[in-house]
Amino acid sequence: MKTRDLIVATAERLFALHGVAAVSNRQISEAAGQGNNSVITYHFGSRADLMRAIVRPHNADIEQRRTALLAAGVPDTLPGWAGCLVRPITDHFASLGPQSCYARFAAQATTDPFLRDVITEEALSTPSTQRTLREITLRTPELPPAVQRLRTDMTRVLVVHTCAELERALHDGTAEATWPEVADGLVDALTGLWTAPVTL
Spell out the domain ranges in the chain.
55-195
Q: What pLDDT sits at residue 186?
A: 98
> Distance between CA atoms of 2 and 103, rounded to whole angstroms?
23
Mean pLDDT score, 5-14: 92
Residues 6+ apart with CB under 8 A from 143: 137, 151, 194, 198
The angle at the Cα of 62, spanning 86 to 121, to the nearest 5 degrees, equals 90
Please write the tens of the pLDDT for every residue from 151-172: 999 999 999 999 999 999 999 9
Range of lowest pLDDT (82-91, 104-113, 126-135): 104-113
Q: What is the pTM of this model?
A: 0.92
> Distance between CA atoms of 135 and 132, rounded to whole angstroms?
5
